[in-house]
C-alpha cells in the first residue's frame, strides 16, 4: 500500500529543493512533534548516493535511523529513493500558489496506516513552515 502526503510551500522551487536536501536544514525541520529532533543528517544527492537522518526523542528514551539510497534525481522536480525493501518519491510541483511537495511512500506493516500518514504529514507541515520562515 502506498501513502501520499503533501503540503504547499510559499517559496521558489530552488529554495524548497535546497532546504529539503541540505543536512543542516534537515536537522531543523525533520520532526513530527516538539518532543523529537533530528540529531544527524547526511545527504549524497546522486543516483546511488545514500542519505540518513538520526531521529531521537528529546528525553533520550528512543531513537532510530531513517536511511536509504537515491534511485532517481531530477533537480527541482523529483527525488526517488529506496529504504530497505520500500520505496518513496518526493515531487516538487510548481504552481500558482507555490510549490506542492508531494511525498509518496510504501507503508510498513508494524504501525497503522493512519498513524504513518499523520507522522509523515506532520514532518512535511514542519518542513513547509520552516521553508517559509527562511524566506
Q: What is the pLDDT of residues 44-96, one digit of tens each?
A: 999 999 999 999 999 999 999 999 999 999 999 999 999 999 999 999 999 99
Residue 34 phi, psi (nearest 5)? -65, -15
| pTM (two decimals) | 0.94
Residue among 63, 68, 62, 64 at smallest CA distance from 42: 68
Query: pLDDT tens digits for 27-48?
Result: 999 998 999 999 999 999 999 9
Task: Please report the pLDDT score of residue 134 as a whole number.
Answer: 87
Distance (Å, whole) CA 127 – CA 133: 10
Burial class (CB in 10 A: 0-12, 13-18, 19+), 61: exposed
Q: Which residues pair with 87 in a beta bridge?
A: 82
Task: Please report the pLDDT score of residue 135 as a whole number.
Answer: 65
Residue among 11, 37, 35 at smallest CA distance from 26: 37
Tell me the CATH number for domain 2-134.
3.30.530.20
C-alpha dist (Å) from residue 84 to 29, 56, 108: 23, 20, 11
Break the chain into its structural domains and give their ranges. Answer: 2-134
- For residues 105 and 3, the answer to whether their CB atoms sit within 8 Å is yes
Amino acid at each position: 500500500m502506498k501513502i501520499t502526503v503533501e503540503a504547499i510551500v510559499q517559496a521558489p522551487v530552488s529554495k524548497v529543493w535546497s532546504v529539503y536536501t541540505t543536512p543542516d536544514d534537515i536537522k531543523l525541520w525533520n520532526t513530527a512533534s516538539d518532543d523529537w529532533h533530528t540529531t544527524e543528517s547526511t545527504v549524497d544527492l546522486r543516483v546511488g548516493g545514500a542519505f540518513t537522518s538520526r531521529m531521537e526523542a528529546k528525553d533520550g528514551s528512543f531513537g532510530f535511523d531513517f536511511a536509504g539510497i537515491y534511485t532517481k534525481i531530477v533537480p527541482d522536480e523529483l527525488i526517488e529513493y529506496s529504504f530497505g525493501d520500500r520505496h518513496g518519491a518526493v515531487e516538487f510541483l510548481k504552481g500558482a500558489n507555490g510549490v506542492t511537495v508531494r511525498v509518496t511512500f510504501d507503508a510498513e506493516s508494524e504501525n497503522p496506516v493512519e498513524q504513518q500518514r499523520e507522522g509523515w504529514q506532520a514532518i512535511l507541515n514542519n518542513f513547509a513552515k520552516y521553508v517559509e520562515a527562511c524566506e
